[in-house]
Amino acid sequence: MDKNLMKKTSIFCCILLMMVLSVISIFGKTPSKNQTNMSGVEMLNFYTRQAKEEQEEIVEGKVRIKMPEGIGRGDIRINNDYVNQTVTIHVPETSEKFYYNYPLVGSSDYIQDLSYGFKDGKASIKIILDSVYEHIIEFRDDYLYLSFVEPKSLYDKIVVIDAGHGGTEPGKPAGDILEKNINLDIVLKLKKMLDNTDIRVYYTRLKDENPSFFHRVNLANATKANMFISIHNNSNESYIHGTQVLWNEKKKYKGLGTFELSQILLDEAVKSMGSKDMGLIDGNEAAYIVRTAEVPASIIEVGFMTNDAELANLLTDEYQQKAAQGIYNGILRAFEEGF
């Protein structure tokens, strides 16, 4: 081989090597084809291992999320959807490339799945959790640190309130009046009162939607709530009226449980509304909620929508307020009595 050709070949090889190296350095942080088939959690663990190898600071038990330049605490919106065990972090002014270059790293404890969404220059990072957790946020340098804790570690008193039915599931209709709307109206009035207490309340719904029975009960079981109260309205022959509470006879045990809670709620609701006491009903067979709840649970049937006079009452703000007040008084009394 002549000298000139050797020189040319070595220069060519050098350039080729440099190109290969620069491609590796540009894409060094991105997973190989094999790795792109990884789940969100596998990706998180992959980048976390890589960050540790590069001596980056990883805080134990926390997820680290890089913030784009100029984005601070006030710009970030975090939504914790407790019913669906999903935390979504909304980051403005972000390109898809940004989280491609700076993927999440940190602890995958409690995380079931993780995904990134991009729309109109905004990123949304969706984290699906393996149970119901409160999230704690911390800003340091250019990072948001996110950790998850069990509600019971933050709150002594936890109540789950369920507005029966919703969305495509109307409940009992009385003409064009739907049970789901009355249930929600009462819950929204109850919420106003509970907002001023030290009780942490989780609601299965605060709008016209229909979470599954599983998700409704899960909210109470996963948060280890002190009590779970589901609010409904009833139907029967038109002459029947009054208030009933469903409990679970199979879960009657010594101490404070579904029976004691249901009796307190019935007493307080009847007293506040002046309605007829229609007693406690065993709901074990019929009602998924009281059957599957692992915490003291009651379904309060506020009134009968099939009774004209009671239905007229149930449609007024005043009577709904009395119903909410009765349930509220019942919750406070239950805590006083040791729930």
Residues making contact with Zn ion (CB under 5 A): 164, 171, 232
Residues 6+ apart with CB under 8 A from 101: 29
Residues 6+ apart with CB under 8 A from 128: 84, 85, 86, 111, 112, 113, 114
Min dist. Cβ of residue 291 to Zn ion (A): 15
- In this structure, are residues 103 and 47 in contact, taking their beta carbons and an 8 Å threshold? yes
Min dist. Cβ of residue 203 to Zn ion (A): 16
Min dist. Cβ of residue 173 to Zn ion (A): 11
Min dist. Cβ of residue 313 to Zn ion (A): 17
Between 178 and 201, whose beta carbon lies closer to Zn ion? Answer: 178
Min dist. Cβ of residue 260 to Zn ion (A): 23
Between 135 and 215, whose beta carbon lies closer to Zn ion? Answer: 215
Between 227 and 246, whose beta carbon lies closer to Zn ion? Answer: 246
How far is 71 from 18, CA to CA, in rounded Å?
36
Between 48 and 307, whose beta carbon lies closer to Zn ion? Answer: 307
115-125: burial string, b at 16+ Cβ within 10 Å, e else:
ebebeeeebbb
35: number of Cβ within 10 Å: 12
The token pair at 56 is 């980056």
Between 171 and 326, whose beta carbon lies closer to Zn ion? Answer: 171
CA-to-CA separations, 197 to 11, 250, 288, 308, 322, in angstroms, rounded: 76, 32, 29, 35, 18
Q: Where are the beta strands (DSSP E) in 82-183?
A: 86-91, 105-106, 111-119, 122-129, 134-140, 143-149, 158-163, 173-174, 177-178
Between 171 and 242, whose beta carbon lies closer to Zn ion? Answer: 171
Angle of helix 258-273 relative to helix 317-336, nearest 10 degrees, comes to 140
Min dist. Cβ of residue 167 to Zn ion (A): 13
Between 110 and 319, whose beta carbon lies closer to Zn ion? Answer: 319
Query: Nearest CA to 74 among 96, 94, 98, 91?
Result: 91
Min dist. Cβ of residue 104 to Zn ion (A): 42
Min dist. Cβ of residue 265 to Zn ion (A): 16
How far is 326 from 245, CA to CA, in rounded Å?
13
DSSP-assigned letter for residue 35: G
- In this structure, are residues 133 and 218 in contact, taking their beta carbons and an 8 Å threshold? no
Min dist. Cβ of residue 169 to Zn ion (A): 9
Between 88 and 236, whose beta carbon lies closer to Zn ion? Answer: 236
How far is 279 from 244, CA to CA, in rounded Å?
5
Identity of the amino acid at 91? V
Q: Residue with the closest Cβ to Zn ion?
A: 232
> What are the φ/ψ torsions at residue 74 (nearest 5 degrees)?
-70, -20
Between 158 and 246, whose beta carbon lies closer to Zn ion? Answer: 246
